[in-house]
Structure 1
Amino acid sequence: MYSSDTAPWDRGADLLRTMRIDSFTPTKGLRSNNVDRCRYCNHLVEYYDRVDGGRIPLVPREFPSASVPLRCRWHVNGGVASVGDRGRAYCYIAHPTLCPGVQHEDADDPQLADARRAMAVRTQRAISRGLFAAPLRITEDEVTFVPVEAETERGIRHVLTYSSVLWIGPAEIDRVRCVAHVSTSRERCKKTVFDDGSFQGSWEQVEIPVPAGRAAQESLWAGQMMWAFSINGLDYHGYRRWLSQRCTVHWEGTAHDAVAPQWERFSIFRDEGHIIYERPAQADSQDAPAAAPVPVCASDGCTHTTVRTVEEGWLCWQCERKQKRRRRTHKRWTWAEEDKLRGFEDRPLEGEGLSWR
C-alpha cells in the first residue's frame, strides 16, 4: 500500500496549502483551512465535511479499495466525505484508523498492518530527530482532531443537542461566533449565532451518553443527567443555521467560511470537565416562550382545533357545513309559513282551470 518512497505527509506543507473552493461542493470552506498535522503522530491529515454535518480527517492519498476493509473505506464527492467506496477502484481511509498514536481494537487486522507499520516508523523517525514529542497513546473513543485554524476557545463550553445527538461548542452558547468570511473587512464575522430577536432554543436535561460495555454502564455517569441547549423546537432552516455556525445575516448568503465550523461530537472521556449538572444561568432568559392558546371550534361539544390565525367564533369545516344545512332548512320552513299566511296554499295551480294573472 505504501509503494512510493515519499509519502504525501512527508512533503512540504506549502505544497498542500492551496486557496480554492470546489465548484461542485455544498460546503464553503477553503481547502487551506483543511490541512493540519495530527497531534498524536505528527502526520499530515486533510479535513473534509461529512454528510452528517461533522468533520473527518482523512489520509491525504487514495488507496486501492480491494486492499482496504469495507468498514474502513471512505469516498469524497464534491468536497463531502461519506462511508463506502461507491464501487470505485480507489478510496480514502480515515486517519484515526491508521494513526500510530491510537490504540486500535483491530490491531491484528492483516489488511491494515502494513500501513500502520509504515506510519509508525515515520513517527519514530520524527521523534528521534526531535521534531515531535509523542503524547501518551489513547483509545479511539478519546481521539479528537481539531484544525489549528479553528481557534477553539478552551474556557466554558456548552453542549448543544438536536435529535438525541450531542455537540460541544467552542464557547458558551450565546458567545459562539459566526464562521463566515466578511468580504468588506476580510475577516471573520464578529456576530454570534444566537439571536435575541427570536426563539433560538431552550435548555433541557438530557441523559449523559455512556459508551457500550459493562464497565461503562457501571460508571458514575450511568443514569446521570446533564444540561444541554436544545434546538429541537426549531424548523429545518433554524437547526441547519446552528450546525453551520452562521449568524442570521450570513446564513442565506454566499460567503465562504473563514474557519471551519467548530462543533465537535460530545465525548464523555474528552469533555467530562464541561458537563453542567446544575441549571445554567442562561436558562432563565433563553427558555421557550409561552405557547399561544390553540383556537378551538366555537360549536358546542366540538374539540377540533386549527394552527391558522382565525377570528373569534371560528367553526371547523364539519360544523360550518352543518350550520349551513340548518340555515337552508330553517329558510325553507320560514317560506312555507309565510305562504300559509298569505293563503297561497288554497290558490289553484295552473292546469286546473285557472292561470296566474
Structure 2
Amino acid sequence: MSPQTPSAACRWDGAPRTTHPRRPLRVAATSPSRLLRAGQSSRCRRCGNRIDWYQRADQRPIALHPTELPAVQVPASCRWHLSCGIAHPHGDGSAWCRIPHTVLCPGRTPTARISLCIEAARRQLAVHSRRLIDTGAFTPATPPPVSEPAAGSGRLTRPVVQMLLGRYIAEQPIEDIRCVTQTRHRHRCPKPVHAPDRPGGRWMLLPACRPQRGQLTLPDGLMAVYDLGHQPYAEQLRWRTQRCPAHAAVPGAPDLALAGWQVFDPLLHSEYIKTDLPVTPSGRRTEA
C-alpha cells in the first residue's frame, strides 16, 4: 500500500482547504473622512498604552481610549462618540461613550476631579505601563529640547505655511513633508508633497499676527512664512490634505495617516516664529 501525498488544495485529513481572498480596504464615497482605520492605533509616548487616533469635525486629530466606558460614570465634558469615523465631543445618548486618552493617561496629572470608574481605569493603565517598563518593551519618552538652526544657516524644522486663507505649522521641514495616502501595496506613500516639477511656495516676511477687534495683544513684527496663497486653489488643497501630485489626481484614494498640520497660534507657537528667511538650496534667501 503506497502512501498518498495530500493535495495542496486539501488538508492533511483530506478536507478541502478554503482560502478567503484578501479584500482591499476602501473608503465609502459618502464618508466625511478619507482616513483608514487600519494603522491608526499607536502607543502613548508617556505611558506606552494603546491609543486610537480619530479626526474631529475640524480635521484635528484626537487620541481616544480603545474601549468604551459607561456614560453615567464619565463626566459630560469627557464624553465623546464616533459617527462616520469622526469624533464628536459629547455623548450620543447611548449608555456607553469614548474618552480621551489624556484623561486616563497615568503619565499625566489630572487637571479636574475624576470619578471612581476613571480612577480605576487609570490604575489599570498604570500597572500595564509598569509591566511594559519592567520587561523593556517600553521606555518613557523624554521630550527633546527644541533647537532651531541658527538664523539664516539652514531650513526651519517646523515652518509656518500660509494656504487657504490660513496659517498652519508643519511637523517637519517643507522638503520632508510626506504624502499620507495608501499605496497599492498597503503602505504609506513615500513621495514628498513638495514636487520639484511644480511651482511651490515662496518664503516671505509677513506680519506675525492679524489684529482683530477684542483680541489680546499678540507678538508683533515680521516672521518667515512659506506662502502658498498665490497658488491655485487645487494646489493649496493638495498641500492641506498632504498628498503628492500622483495621489491628488485620485479622488477616492484613502489616507493611511493623519495630515501633520496644526493651526498656527502666535501665542502657543511663539517659539517657532523666526524673523529671518531660511537659506534656499541655491544658497540665497528669497522674498516676494
So what's the TM-score if we normalise by structure 2?
A: 0.65
Instruction: Give, in angstroms, the shift of residue 42 of structure 1.
Output: 0.8
1:91 maps to: 97
1:170 maps to: 172
Instruction: Give, in angstroms, the shift of residue 96 of structure 1.
Output: 1.6
Q: Partners of 1:229 and 1:104 in 2: how far apart? A: 38
Q: For 1:121, what is the secondary structure of its paired residue?
A: helix
1:57 maps to: 63
1:251 maps to: 248
Q: Partners of 1:257 and 1:66 in 2: how far apart? A: 35
The structure in which a higher percent of residues are helix is 1
| Residues 200 and 228 in structure 2, CA contact (< 8 A), matched pair in contact too | no
Give the direction of change, closer, same or farther, for the CA distance of 1:128–1:251 in structure 2 (3 Å limit): same
1:127 maps to: 133
Q: For 1:255, what is the secondary structure of its paired residue?
A: coil
The total of aligned residue pairs comes to 243
Q: Partners of 1:117 and 1:127 in 2: how far apart? A: 15
Q: Partners of 1:39 and 1:186 in 2: how far apart? A: 23
Instruction: Give, in angstroms, the shift of residue 95 of structure 1.
Output: 1.1
1:110 aligns with 2:107: no
Q: Which amino acid aligns with 1:49?
A: Q
Determine which structure has greater relative contact order: mean sequence separation of CA pairs < 8 Å that are 6+ residues apart, divided by chain length.
2
| Residues 206 and 228 in structure 1, CA contact (< 8 A), matched pair in contact too | no
Q: Partners of 1:59 and 1:125 in 2: how far apart? A: 19
| Residues 53 and 243 in structure 1, CA contact (< 8 A), matched pair in contact too | no
Gaps of at least 5 residues in structure 2 are 1-22, 147-154, 210-216
Deviations 1:162-218 (A, max 9, x none): 55553223322x55333333439976252534576457576343538xxxxxxxx9x
Name which of 65, 77, 81 aligns with 1:75: 81
Give the direction of change, closer, same or farther, for the CA distance of 1:244–1:187 in structure 2 (3 Å limit): closer
Give the direction of change, closer, same or farther, for the CA distance of 1:278–1:237 in structure 2 (3 Å limit): same
Give the direction of change, closer, same or farther, for the CA distance of 1:134–1:232 in structure 2 (3 Å limit): same
Q: Partners of 2:233 and 2:226 in 1: how far apart? A: 17
Q: Partners of 2:168 and 2:81 in 1: how far apart? A: 25
1:277 maps to: 275
2:259 maps to: 261
Deviations 1:40-68 (A, max 9, x none): 10101111122212222111111222221
Gaps of at least 5 residues in structure 1 are 1-17, 143-153, 209-216, 288-357
Q: Which amino acid aligns with 2:63?
A: P
Larger Rg: 1
Instruction: Give, in angstroms, the shift of residue 228 of structure 1.
Output: 2.6
Identity of aligned residues (%): 26
| Residues 67 and 98 in structure 2, CA contact (< 8 A), matched pair in contact too | yes
1:1-357 correspondence to structure 2 within 5 Å: 20-21=25-26, 23=28, 25-106=31-112, 108-110=113-115, 112-135=118-141, 156-161=157-162, 165-172=167-174, 174-183=175-184, 188=189, 190-193=191-194, 197=198, 200=201, 203-207=204-208, 223=220, 226-231=223-228, 237-253=234-250, 254-264=252-262, 275-281=273-279, 287=288
Q: Which amino acid aligns with 1:255?
A: A
Q: For 1:177, what is the secondary structure of its paired residue?
A: coil
**Cα RMSD after superposing both structures:** 4.1
So what's the TM-score if we normalise by structure 1?
A: 0.54
Q: For 2:38, what is the secondary structure of its paired residue?
A: helix
Q: Which amino acid aligns with 1:110?
A: S
| Residues 71 and 95 in structure 2, CA contact (< 8 A), matched pair in contact too | yes
